[in-house]
Chain A
Amino acid sequence: MNEVCLKVENLGKRYLISHGQLKSDYLSERILRGMSAPFRRIVQVIKGNPVHASEADSILWAVKDVTFEVRRGQVVGVIGRNGAGKSTLLKILAGITDPNEGYAEITGRVASLLEVGSGFHPELTGRENVYLNGAVLGMRKEEIDRKMEEIVSFAEVGDFLDTPIKHYSSGMYVRLAFSIAAHLEPEILLVDEVLAVGDAAFQRKCLGKMDDVCKEGRTVLFVSHNMGLIESICERGILLESGRVAKQGDIREVVSTYLKTIEDQQHVPLLARTDRRGKAMSQVAKFEILDENNNLLTALRSGGPARFRVHVTRKLPGMNCTIEIIDHLGHPVTVFRSKSRASTDSFERQDPLCFTCHLDDLFLLPGRYRADISITGDNRLQDSIKGAGFFDVIGGSIGGRPTVIDKRFRVGLPHRWTIPAEN
């Protein structure tokens, strides 16, 4: 058994949520507030109110009482819903932000792939950015010199090395960024969903590199929403829920617990849920699965018609809706985007606060699926909620052919065969 290289004890991080009152982001406002404070206090006393109550901030613990140990060479998946504290935990471990209580003891160099390429400057060439980004990540110049060739060949940017990276394709940009961080040779690597970028071939290469990293006895903490990926590369898992460790241990058990808790969420009204991201000027209020006559359903038939309806709280200029269909392992299956328009699209007149996605034939094979919904408007992400709805697809027929239950596949396409004639 290897020695413990990461020891986390009762780690906690809190954020003060001010109600737009006490702590302003504007210095001038704070000074004015400070100067007027005695007078306001007098008014409060005259009114007979308790002096401090009205200005109390509420405290949100992003991470609380988190305790775990990681041994050298282990690959640990950190999972949980949006806002469960995964990123905050990684940020504390990476030293980006300080905890408020407890401690994390780390043996060896830590590198974070929280977001690759932050710190790239578009005007500088690839080579210059390698030096700069390497230095930001804590590498020495001679170390970068030594690894330059390796970094460049891994990133496959070759001839473009001395071109300003503003001319790079997004794929090249990401490859170079990942390559720098991957060659940092840290004892502990913190990864936050960077593998979701790049083309499939490069993703495989990154996974290979991650494998190498693990074999060399390095330790990896991996945050991702892709359960399939997590299950394939991690051995242990930590499930976070509202900042606390809900379960840790064998990755399979942790993932199945997580998937179960996601499903339990469907009994909570969407607007009451807090595991969401976005500006929230408009939010997803309700998600409905309907048949062609607008009757509510919980199960759909393979090859049959289906309607997904998303209700939002407010109408915003340039509003769009995206519905992602994810299978029970967390693999994305397909996506519906209202942003890419077709001539068959129409406008909602009766209820301007809802998006409806009509499908004549649902080409999904039997199984359980969930829908992740996000809405944009006013050029911003307004709301994004994972597992906004769940549904079963039951056996039916696609293209006149009965669907057979097969655990491995998700999509069925209508098709015809020509087969050797039987005489």
Chain B
Amino acid sequence: MISETTTERLEINVPVPAPVEPKKVRREPSKGWWDSLKLDELWNYRELFYFLVWRDLKVRYKQTVLGASWAILQPLLTMVVFSVVFGRLAGIASDGSPYPIFSFAALVPWTFLANGLTHGSQNLVTASNMVRKVYFPRITMPTAAVLAGLADLGLAFPFLLGIALVYGYWPTATLLWLPVFLILALLTTIGAALWLAAFNVQFRDVRHAVPFLIQIWLFATPVAYPASLVPEHWRMAYAMNPMATVVEGFRWAVVGKATLSTGMITVSFLVAFLLLVTAVIYFRKMERTFADVI
């Protein structure tokens, strides 16, 4: 609050910049969910998102022996294992395309989700000291971990195109649809990571449940098998797992063959959007108590 005397002095006809009224903040018990959402605050801290992503990238590539190549090796090695076990030994169908490219196209977005969930659910607890001592919007940390994963995906993607070329698949116009599926993957991963992060702060055993959950989710998603194995009339229900659409979408974009429909894409987007919105609301409501329970 600026006292009256200061305002009076400003009446002299000199172009003095008006003193900035310091912002008033009120610390009080938070009320409804809208009250605790505080979107303006998130906007004010937008640079923190950027710095946290940047930190995650720096640290991730600095500390590992393999550095950035890890981003490619992880899905690549999984692809080799899948090709041998599911493609050769189990003889699982791959919608007519060679199994390696079939699984690799799925593993690239899948690795993004798996890493995003692992890091995003964990990094707040790892930084518990910071959470207890400094205030910043907690939502920035899990979100930044997921966003940093985009760099890995960006590194692995040219490799995916390269493998596709080796198998004789030239990029077609379907590739232009890729951003749509990428956004769907992003919405899903951030939504799920925020839910898990909020739980992980409050409950000790969530940490152990996350790898298990990722594994279950892997089998619920057509990574190792084609979505065409799912009966036609079940496909809409199947699309309630947004990752099913993401994975099939990546295949379609690269190889041009997949089990997809506008209906499935719509359902997936609705579910992912709902997941994200509820996650943000829940997270923002609970983050006021994180410092007490972490």
Chain A positions within 8 Å of B, measured between CB atoms, are 3-5, 15, 25-30, 91-110, 112, 114-115, 118-119, 121, 123-124, 128, 131-132, 135-138, 140-141, 187
- From B1, B47, B51, B291, give the contact of A91 (CB < 8 A): B291
1/0 per residue, CB under 8 A from A, across B97-137: the answer is: 00000000000000000000000000000010110111110
Q: A128 to B58, Cβ gap below 8 A?
A: yes
- Chain B residues in 8 Å Cβ range of A95: 25, 27, 135
The distance in angstroms between the C-alpha atoms of A109 and B21, with both chains bound, is 11
Check A135/B47 contact, CB under 8 A, given A98-B30, A108-B23, A118-B134.
yes
Interface pair A102/B289, CB less than 8 Å apart: no
Q: Is B63 an interface residue (CB 8 A)?
A: yes
- The residue in chain B whose Cβ has the minimal distance to the Cβ of A136 is B136
* Of the residues A97, A105, A121, contact of B55 by C-beta under 8 Å: A121
Q: A97-B292, A140-B47 are in contact. List 18 more A-B contacts (CB 8 A).
A: A25-B202, A25-B203, A27-B202, A29-B205, A94-B135, A96-B135, A96-B291, A98-B289, A99-B29, A104-B26, A105-B27, A109-B23, A118-B134, A135-B47, A136-B134, A137-B134, A137-B136, A138-B136
Give per-residue flags for B12-37: 1 if the beta carbon is below 8 A from chain A beta carbons, else 0. Answer: 00000000001111111110000000
CB of B183, distance to nearest CB on chain A (Å):
26
Is the Cβ of B55 less than 8 Å from the Cβ of A96?
no
Check A101–B27 contact: CB distance below 8 A: no
- Give B144 Cβ to nearest chain A Cβ, in Å: 11
Contacts of B26 in A (CB 8 A): 103-106
Task: Give B164-214 interface residues, CB cut-off 8 Å to A.
Answer: 199, 202-206, 209
Whole-angstrom CA separation of A104 from B2 in the bound complex: 19
Chain A residues, CB < 8 A from B27:
92-93, 95, 98-99, 103-106
Q: B288: CB under 8 A from chain A?
A: yes
User: B35-79, CB under 8 A of A: which get 1 and which 0?
Assistant: 000000000110110111001001100110000000000000000
Instruction: For A26, give its contact among B2, B130, B204 (CB under 8 Å).
Output: B204
User: In the complex, are the beta carbons of A141 and B47 less than 8 A apart?
Assistant: yes
B7 at the interface (CB under 8 A from A): no
Taking a contact as CB atoms closer than 8 A, the residue among A3, A104, A112, A123 that contacts B1 in the complex is: A3
Q: Which residues of A contact B262 (CB under 8 A)?
A: none
Inter-chain contact B133/A114, CB cutoff 8 Å: yes
A135 touches B23 (CB 8 A): no
Known: A98-B289, A104-B27, A140-B47. Is A114-B59 also a contact (CB below 8 A)?
Answer: no
Could you tell me if B289 and A28 are in contact, using CB atoms closer than 8 angstroms? no
| Alpha-carbon gap, A98 to B203, bound state (A) | 20
Please report the total number of B residues contacting A with Cβ < 8 Å.
43
**Do A187 and B3 have beta carbons less than 8 Å apart?**
no
- List the 7 closest A-B pairs by CB distance, nearest first: A27-B203, A103-B28, A108-B22, A95-B135, A135-B51, A118-B133, A115-B133
With contacts A93-B27, A107-B22 taken as known, whether A98 is within 8 angstroms of B288 at the C-beta atoms is yes
Query: Given A97-B289, A106-B24, A123-B58 in contact, is the A27-B199 Cβ separation under 8 Å?
Result: yes
Looking at the assembled complex, report how far the CB atom of B291 sits from the nearest CB atom of chain A, in whole angstroms.
Answer: 5
Chain B contacts to A: CB under 8 angstroms = 1-3, 22-30, 44-45, 47-48, 50-52, 55, 58-59, 62-63, 127, 129-130, 132-136, 199, 202-206, 209, 288-289, 291-292
B205 in contact with A27 (CB, 8 Å): yes
Chain A residues whose CB sits within 8 angstroms of the CB of B127 once the complex forms: 119
Residues of A within 8 A of B55 (CB): 121, 124, 128, 132
**Contact A100-B134, Cβ < 8 Å, known A3-B1, A123-B63, A128-B58:** no
Which of B29, B44, B59, B133 is close to A121, meaning CB atoms less than 8 Å apart? B59
A112 proximity list for chain B (CB < 8 A): 133-135
Q: In this complex, which of B135, B203, B288 has the most chain A Cβ atoms within 10 angstroms of its Cβ?
A: B135
**Chain B residues near A110 (CB-CB < 8 A):** 25
Residues of A within 8 Å of B2, CB to CB, are 3
Report yes or no: B62 in contact with A123, Cβ–Cβ below 8 A. yes
Q: A64 CB to closest chain B CB, in angstroms?
A: 14
Closest CB in chain B relative to A65 CB, distance in Å:
15
- The distance from the CB of B128 to the nearest CB of chain A, in whole angstroms, is 10
**CB distance B135 to A100 under 8 Å?**
no
| Closest CB in chain A relative to B160 CB, distance in Å | 30
